[in-house]
Amino acid sequence: MPNKIDVLARICPQMKAVLAREDELAGDANDTSAGFAQMRENYVAGRAWWNEGAPSMAAVADDVVAGPFGDIPVRRYDPTGAATAAVNGKGEVQPAIIYVHGGGFVLGSLDTHDRICRILAERAGVPVVAVDYRLSPEAQYPSAVQEVAAVADFLHREGAAWGIDGERLAFAGDSGGAHLNLAATLYLRNEGGGAAFVKCLLLFYGWFGLTDSASMRLLGGPWDGLAEEDWRFYLNLYAADPAALATEPYANLFLNDLTHDVPACYIAAAEFDPLRDDSACLAAICEQYGIPYRHEVFEGVIHAFLHYTKMLDAANDALEHGATFYRETLGLA
């Protein structure tokens, strides 16, 4: 598509340094022409260094939750030991955050987002449960939505076994994970008997359903792997009929009635992200209908910036601000 902004000339110095480091670590990790199998290898290799030196937790445990298509791997982060103590009858159950990783529904795992989860758990001061939903194209829409909803439903019903208060849950996620957070909340609200136990959503640069926008027209390229042909690549893997996603309520989330029963939303966007206007649209809906929210656009950065906490102040600020919004919303501040 013509008429693109010269993003690389406008990003901040720290973001330029991050991209240079990314080239050293993984080369063309965003090159969709390599195919999803090679991209997964590149993604894992590229994220390994960025995940080093993450905060220590009182306890970390890998587990599974029974889902609609089989067991769903999860990783539990207990930053203070309070949840572990509750399991042993030595304290109260804790509110918790369910983290859903990004990667265009095709990439990502518990390991690629480990540092993000640890930082969020440390800053929020509560357990984080990360979800390893099945990726596309092996599993396609709406399976990821249903699996994320299944983990939330399990924690709502059975969370006490892990020291978690099932009535005080929240979602957090980046990119495709942010999408799945809101989609799963709406799925639970519409088809799962209600989602009142989901008190807060931390949505980092998500896609929420727009098929065209000013930011999509102006932004996206090889630096972020979100040019138009890249976007088509991901959607073609995510759904058997990608054209139909525009009419599917758990893909095009703006088809849902967002005037009621939507949790408080922290909505973080990147200035030079083609998905920036999705966040702006959701924030405008929250403003119109009195949904508590905070909308931030982090200047000088591109999509997926949350991974780069080792070098990028904006990444640390976004996690800190999201954790603060979460604590204020749940009355933990």
Q: Where are the alpha helices (DSSP H) in the chain?
A: 13-26, 36-50, 82-87, 114-124, 143-158, 176-191, 214-218, 228-238, 276-289, 313-329
Task: For the chain, report the end-to-end CA distance as a whole number of angstroms.
Answer: 46
Q: Which structural domain, as residue segments, surrounds residue 297?
A: 7-329
* Rounded CA separation 93/269 (Å): 32
**pLDDT given for residue 317 in this prediction:** 98
User: What is the pairing mode between strands 70-78 and 59-67?
Assistant: antiparallel
List, for residues 110-119, the tens digit of each pLDDT value. Answer: 999 999 999 9
Average pLDDT over residues 36-61: 95
**Residue 158: CB atoms within 10 Å:** 13
Confidence of residue 214 (pLDDT cuts 50, 70, 90): very high
* Rounded CA separation 205/231 (Å): 15
**C-beta of residue 220 within 8 angstroms of C-beta of residue 231:** yes
**pLDDT given for residue 142 in this prediction:** 98
Residue 18 has pLDDT above 70, yes or no: yes
**pLDDT given for residue 2 in this prediction:** 78
Q: For residue 93, tell me if it sits in a domain.
A: yes
* Rounded CA separation 120/306 (Å): 11
Residue 192 has pLDDT above 90, yes or no: yes
* Rounded CA separation 326/124 (Å): 7
- Angle (CA) 310-267-93 rounded to 5° is 80
Written as six digits, the tokens of 214 are 């000013």
Average pLDDT over residues 162-181: 98
**pLDDT given for residue 223 in this prediction:** 93
**Residue 148: CB atoms within 10 Å:** 27
Confidence of residue 26 (pLDDT cuts 50, 70, 90): confident
Cβ-based neighbours of 165, under 8 Å, separated by 6 or more: 92, 93, 94, 95, 96, 159
Percent of the chain with pLDDT over 90: 96
List, for residues 260-295, the tens digit of each pLDDT value. Answer: 999 999 999 999 999 999 999 999 999 999 999 999
Amino acid at position 181, single letter: N
* Rounded CA separation 81/176 (Å): 30
Residue 253 has pLDDT above 80, yes or no: yes
List, for residues 4-16, the tens digit of each pLDDT value. Answer: 999 999 999 999 9
Active site residues: 175, 273, 303
| Average pLDDT over the chain, rounded to an integer | 96
List, for residues 53-79, the tens digit of each pLDDT value. Answer: 999 999 999 999 999 999 999 999 999
Average pLDDT over residues 206-228: 96
What single-letter DSSP state applies at residue 133?
A: P
**pLDDT given for residue 219 in this prediction:** 98
Q: What CATH number corresponds to the domain at position 307?
A: 3.40.50.1820
Q: Where are the alpha helices (DSSP H) in 174-312?
A: 176-191, 214-218, 228-238, 276-289
For 132, the enclosing helix (H) or strand (E) is none
Give which of 225, 253, 200, 250 is closest to 46, Cα–Cα: 225
Task: Give the total number of structural domains in the chain.
Answer: 1
Order of strands, sheet of 164-174, starting from the edge strand that comes earlier in the sequence: 59-67, 70-78, 128-131, 94-100, 164-174, 198-204, 264-270, 293-298
**C-beta of residue 232 within 8 angstroms of C-beta of residue 238:** no
Residue 29 has pLDDT above 90, yes or no: no
List, for residues 307-324, the tens digit of each pLDDT value. Answer: 999 999 999 999 999 999
Q: For residue 147, tell me if it sits in a domain.
A: yes
SS3 of residue 27 by DSSP: coil
261, burial (CB in 10 Å: exposed 0-12, middle 13-18, buried 19+): middle
- Angle (CA) 224-225-229 rounded to 5° is 140
Amino acid at position 115, single letter: R
Confidence of residue 1 (pLDDT cuts 50, 70, 90): low
Q: For residue 1, tell me if it sits in a domain.
A: no
Q: For residue 2, tell me if it sits in a domain.
A: no
Q: For residue 29, tell me if it sits in a domain.
A: yes
Confidence of residue 333 (pLDDT cuts 50, 70, 90): low
